[in-house]
Structure 1
Amino acid sequence: MTLPVALSGSDVIGQAKTGTGKTLGFGLPLLERVTVPADVEAGRATPEKLTEAPQALVVVPTRELCQQVTNDLLTAGKVRNVRVLAIYGGRAYEPQVEALKKGVDIVVGTPGRLLDLAGQKKLDLSHVRSLVLDEADEMLDLGFLPDVEKIMKMLPPKRQTMLFSATMPGAVIGLARKYMAQPTHISATSPDDEGATVANITQHVFRAHNMDKPELVSRILQADGRGLAMIFCRTKRTAADIAEQLEKRGFASGAVHGDLGQGAREQALRAFRNGKVDVLVCTDVAARGIDVEGVTHVINYQSPEDEKTYLHRVGRTGRAGAKGIAVTLVDWDDIPRWKLINKALDLPFDEPEETYSTSAHLYEILSIPAGTKGILPRADRTRAGLRAEEVEDLGETGGRGRRSAPAAAAPAVVEERAPRTPRQRRRTRGGASVSADEATAVSQAPADTATAEAPAEPRTPRRRRRTRSAEAVVETVEAPVPAPAAEPEAPKAPRRRTRAAKTAEAVTEAPATAEAEAAPAKAPRRRTRAAAAVDTAEVQVPAPATEADAPKAPRRRTRTAKTAEAVTEAPATAEAEAVTEAPATAEAEAAPAKAPRRRTRAAAAVDTAEVQVPAPATEPDAPKAPRRRTRTAKTAEAVTEAPATAEAAPAKAPRRRTRAAAAQPES
């Protein structure tokens, strides 16, 4: 019905059921209307009509349909030597651009890549005389309608336009009225067909639980007389999951969905056409126009979105007069959607029967042998599988290392990169980086030699933390640089000193005697701050007896300093002299037991400093006291500078008794 109208050059809207031959309905008129060199030789056309630019354009919604239409046109135009080129995404640009430069008669492509190449001035559409929109309703559903309109604006105004689809929604009719001139609407139906579906297809609809569907599908695939089968899913994740589960159960399965690369999608379709895979799990990208001979079963694993999708899915079987079986599994959640589809197509499956993998009616209706389980027996695993089909290198856009040429040069690249970043170059020696040659020599040298030649690290040791105790300060300062015994000068004190360190330094710089070394063992356990300062100054740090004059006291004096000064200036007696010189008698040894046990932090620091860091007896001069002095340091310094004579012994308390003087009679 289409051929005479299309060959005359009129615009055509062709509507027919799936599997009735729409591809050749518009393909043969295109092949006949293009001008090839054979027409010039036969005298049917003038040489001026020959051109290297495309003369016909076919726009399809999916890549798989683009490839199939291209193959059909190449087969039909082989006698006339018509050049047909497929342009779609997922492939490299370079081969398509080179083919366009050599010359093409018919271009079949998807809207995205066509617009891309046309925008780059690589595709010339100014000589197109025929335009075909295949599966126009699907392009509308996928959102390609704006792109299709852009492509139509690039074409010459005088052209032939043909639309072909199994369904014609209102938007497609509106597009036809806008861009077509007096189109002829042709609807092809068979006399024995009483509905939208083909009569050769036997349809079954079951209500199945989602968790039982994999087992149910595995048993349906083992039905008698089952050839190739296609399983349709609504989502890409479900399609990948079902394909993997079927492969584990022993079936030769492949997957086609949008998450796969173009090479993997074409690999699965080729394996399915060649018989290496007998189960193809796919989404709706393979529901349009895919024509594979020998498909006997179509299973809708999930309910389709609408009636048009259902028609296209079911139409993959029962093509060109063959018979097929379509099984639809409807979950409980999809019952409302299925009722709308059933009403729109006028099907007798308004209430699907509840079915499980062990239901008896399932075995009877689909001719499944009794005792069939969900795992394919090893004796029936005769297919080669998806891995037997090689993946074609398409030079996919966005991929790295997929071409054969870079893959062959990969080892050379690795060999060049190896010496660039050697691991030995990261080694260091004493904080400085070591070159690769030195690092290699050191690594190959014996352990003893490397240890002997390795220089000492100039960095200071990690133990440099100064604590509040005088012991930690002295150890960390003197440990790295020990001074010899005969060295007259002591190391300088650190700039920033703690309270305990300053007190220890003031006491350490005073001259030491035999009586001072023995005094800390007799110190009382509990003493007040003022008493501890007086006792420490009197007993542990006696001033030389030959000193005639004492320096003046500091102008600003604390309460403790005043008390200590008053005590040191009191007249001395024989009793006080005995206390000052601290004779080692029984009375002196027993005296500390009567003192309180509680001591202050400053007194503890002074005692610790006296025991652990005694000053050398031969040291003539002590360094000056620090400018910034603590309360305890000032008290000790004032007491130390006082003359230690027999008359200066602090035995008697002053007339005005203070807290420090109150504690004096006990000692």
Structure 2
Amino acid sequence: MEKAAEQNNKQSVPVLPWMRSPIDVGAFDDCLLPLLPFLDPRLEVALQNMAISSLFPVQVAVWQETIGPGSFERDLCINSPTGSGKTLAYALPIVQMLSTRAIRCLRALVVLPTRDLALQVKEVFAAIAPAVGLSVGLAVGQSSIVDEISELVKRPKLQAGICYDPEALSLDLQSSVDILVATPGRLMDHINSTKGFTLEHLRYLVVDETDRLLREAYQSWLPTVLQLTRCSAKSLFPHANTFLPSTFGSLKTIRRSGVERGFKGKSYPRLVKMVLSATLTQDPSKLAQLDLHHPLLLTTGQRRYRLPEQLESFKLICESKLKPLYLVALLQTLQGEKCIVFTSSVESTHRLCTLLNFFGDLQIKIKEYSGLQRQSLRSKTLRAFRVGDIQVLVSSDAMTRGMDVDGVTNVINYDIPAYIKTYIHRAGRTARAGKAGRCFTLLRKDEVKRFKKMLQKADHNSCPVYSVPSDSIESLRSTYNSAMEKLKETVASETHKKRKFKSSRMFKGKELNNQKV
């Protein structure tokens, strides 16, 4: 699938007609908050409390197409580099629009592919939404579904001594949140089994990291959401052309129980969609799944693949067997700067992190971060990394997309990424929000040519060789040999424990089956 996507990128023009005339985000300048038109003063204060004094170009461009002249008339497709501010670009206008109606029901849904990314996006909404009286919920499976239900659905208060009809009570269930940030799997759990959870009033759907969400089915969450919103629109407005919409400024709206549905010049309710990625797909069949309404593309420049402007790329040429030595020597030269080291798999992540921690007294705190770990452990590690208690994070690609950690000055590709999309998402963990950053890639000699071709797809031709002192490599050899021996012992011990655990589970399973017989 990735290869097919890269073949599409070789075409000189976008596949779909509406992608041929995008709005260039680069034409916009940063905008100071007091100069941003129509911004709610309460939101301005909330942004200032986040130490935000101005909006970035992509945020200004989206604001113009939503709160400004665009007035949400078209669905938006936003293709902008990592770290350019896409989350706030959609969070701010959605919160502003929902604040105009003081009705508590689920009106905005943001879907993301991973828990960690969803937690991060929820924090952005939670920093601004309460300022205008809105509530934000989270559905990611971090806690039990019972706990999530209690946070998402408001149940009526019961008076003692009075008998209630359970069926009648279920009709009185109401949403406790205006905005929900969710992963697709847990979203489907609530759609299928949570009483009182409804998308009946949904006005905004955000599909963040669109490429990944469209590439994987996730229990058919997208067609389910779209079908539910279509059905609710038909049931609420079976004769859409027989009534007169009310008017709010230039925005025509349809009201039911105080809930707005419908937009300027339209006599029927419409779900507004915003889709975002640093590497937005151009595949018509994938984009067709979104059922976009007169979509408008906002992008940075004409190329699909773009790296952050303040990013410097370097390559380290080394022998395969000596890669750990080159990595350690590089980390020493970076002198404790905050770094993320990317590997090709969760197994490689675990082994490399274990090996690095056997390297004597590096005076660098190094921790592992991968999809095999429990969510609670990953969250704890990420918090420690954010505050600087950990200087180096060894990660699988669980952290490549969207994750924002302030102060990451270096990204290191221990294993060369297979595709330019992966390189862009990895490199995008640094050089964010206009700050400078560096990306180092360790390469064998036979990988240099392929790596150069990969970078050319992002129009990135400047990638000089970064040299580490040869005496640094030599001084680490004896420590390396000792560390490798310890790693072998550790891997053997872990493998033995896994086998023992697996066999004990199988034995218990057989015992249970025998008892049933």
Query: TM-score scaled by structure 2?
Result: 0.62
Corresponding residue for 1:280?
393
Corresponding residue for 1:121?
194
Corresponding residue for 1:309?
422
Corresponding residue for 1:12?
76
Asked if 2 retains the 8 angstrom alpha-carbon contact of 1:253 and 1:280, the reply is: yes
Corresponding residue for 1:338?
451
Asked if 2 retains the 8 angstrom alpha-carbon contact of 1:228 and 1:294, the reply is: yes
Equivalent position SS for 2:131: coil
- Corresponding letter in the other structure for 2:358: K
- Report the CA distance between 1:218 and its aligned residue: 1.2
Equivalent position SS for 1:362: coil
Asked if 2 retains the 8 angstrom alpha-carbon contact of 1:302 and 1:331, the reply is: no
**CA 1:69–1:370 in structure 2 vs 1: closer, same or farther (change >3 Å)?**
same
Distance in 2 (CA, whole Å) between partners of 1:180 and 1:225 is 49
- Corresponding letter in the other structure for 2:407: G
**CA 1:342–1:333 in structure 2 vs 1: closer, same or farther (change >3 Å)?**
same
Asked if 1 retains the 8 angstrom alpha-carbon contact of 2:139 and 2:183, the reply is: yes
Corresponding residue for 1:184?
296
**CA 1:298–1:58 in structure 2 vs 1: closer, same or farther (change >3 Å)?**
same
Distance in 2 (CA, whole Å) between partners of 1:110 and 1:332 is 41
Superposition pairs of residues 418-567 of structure 1, within 5 angstroms? none
Higher Rg: 1
Select which of 361, 374, 377 maps to 1:261: 374
Select which of 324, 339, 347 maps to 2:437: 324
Corresponding residue for 1:89?
141
Report 1 or 2 for greater relative contact order, CA contacts < 8 Å, sequence distance ≥ 6: 2
The reply on whether 1:66 has 2:118 as its aligned counterpart is: yes
**CA 1:118–1:169 in structure 2 vs 1: closer, same or farther (change >3 Å)?**
same
Equivalent position SS for 2:299: strand
More deviation, 85-94/97-106: 85-94
Distance in 2 (CA, whole Å) between partners of 1:189 and 1:160 is 25
Asked if 1 retains the 8 angstrom alpha-carbon contact of 2:279 and 2:304, the reply is: no
- Corresponding letter in the other structure for 2:122: T
Distance in 1 (CA, whole Å) between partners of 2:147 and 2:294 is 39
Equivalent position SS for 1:124: coil
The reply on whether 1:133 has 2:207 as its aligned counterpart is: yes
**CA 1:211–1:302 in structure 2 vs 1: closer, same or farther (change >3 Å)?**
same
**CA 1:195–1:179 in structure 2 vs 1: closer, same or farther (change >3 Å)?**
closer
Q: Deviations over 1:21-45 (max 9, x none)?
A: 000110001111224xxxxxxxx54
Distance in 2 (CA, whole Å) between partners of 1:176 and 1:132 is 16
Asked if 2 retains the 8 angstrom alpha-carbon contact of 1:14 and 1:186, the reply is: yes
Distance in 1 (CA, whole Å) between partners of 2:378 and 2:330 is 25
- Report the CA distance between 1:121 and its aligned residue: 3.1
The reply on whether 1:50 has 2:103 as its aligned counterpart is: yes
Distance in 1 (CA, whole Å) between partners of 2:127 and 2:66 is 20
Distance in 2 (CA, whole Å) between partners of 1:30 and 1:20 is 18
Corresponding residue for 1:105?
178
- Report the CA distance between 1:261 and its aligned residue: 1.0
Superposition pairs of residues 13-28 of structure 1, within 5 angstroms? 13-28=77-92
Q: Deviations over 1:463-492 (max 9, x none)?
A: xxxxxxxxxxxxxxxxxxxxxxxxxxxxxx
**CA 1:289–1:362 in structure 2 vs 1: closer, same or farther (change >3 Å)?**
same
Q: Which runs of 5+ in 1 are unaligned?
A: 36-43, 356-360, 377-667
Distance in 1 (CA, whole Å) between partners of 2:321 and 2:448 is 17
Superposition pairs of residues 596-611 of structure 1, within 5 angstroms? none
**CA 1:59–1:195 in structure 2 vs 1: closer, same or farther (change >3 Å)?**
closer
Asked if 2 retains the 8 angstrom alpha-carbon contact of 1:22 and 1:164, the reply is: yes
- Report the CA distance between 1:303 and its aligned residue: 1.1
- Corresponding letter in the other structure for 2:63: L
Q: Deviations over 1:262-317 (max 9, x none)?
A: 11111111111121111111111211111111101100111112111100100111
Q: Deviations over 1:534-554 (max 9, x none)?
A: xxxxxxxxxxxxxxxxxxxxx
Q: Deviations over 1:75-109 (max 9, x none)?
A: 12232232111211343212211001230111011
- Report the CA distance between 1:194 and its aligned residue: 12
Distance in 1 (CA, whole Å) between partners of 2:182 and 2:149 is 13
**CA 1:207–1:224 in structure 2 vs 1: closer, same or farther (change >3 Å)?**
closer
Corresponding residue for 1:223?
333
The reply on whether 1:210 has 2:314 as its aligned counterpart is: no
**CA 1:120–1:370 in structure 2 vs 1: closer, same or farther (change >3 Å)?**
closer
Asked if 2 retains the 8 angstrom alpha-carbon contact of 1:90 and 1:261, the reply is: no
Asked if 2 retains the 8 angstrom alpha-carbon contact of 1:137 and 1:172, the reply is: no
Equivalent position SS for 1:137: helix
Query: TM-score scaled by structure 1?
Result: 0.49
Corresponding residue for 1:152?
226
Asked if 2 retains the 8 angstrom alpha-carbon contact of 1:15 and 1:164, the reply is: yes
Asked if 2 retains the 8 angstrom alpha-carbon contact of 1:226 and 1:296, the reply is: no
Asked if 2 retains the 8 angstrom alpha-carbon contact of 1:3 and 1:29, the reply is: yes
Corresponding residue for 2:277?
165
Corresponding residue for 2:24?
none
Q: Deviations over 1:513-535 (max 9, x none)?
A: xxxxxxxxxxxxxxxxxxxxxxx
The reply on whether 1:245 has 2:297 as its aligned counterpart is: no
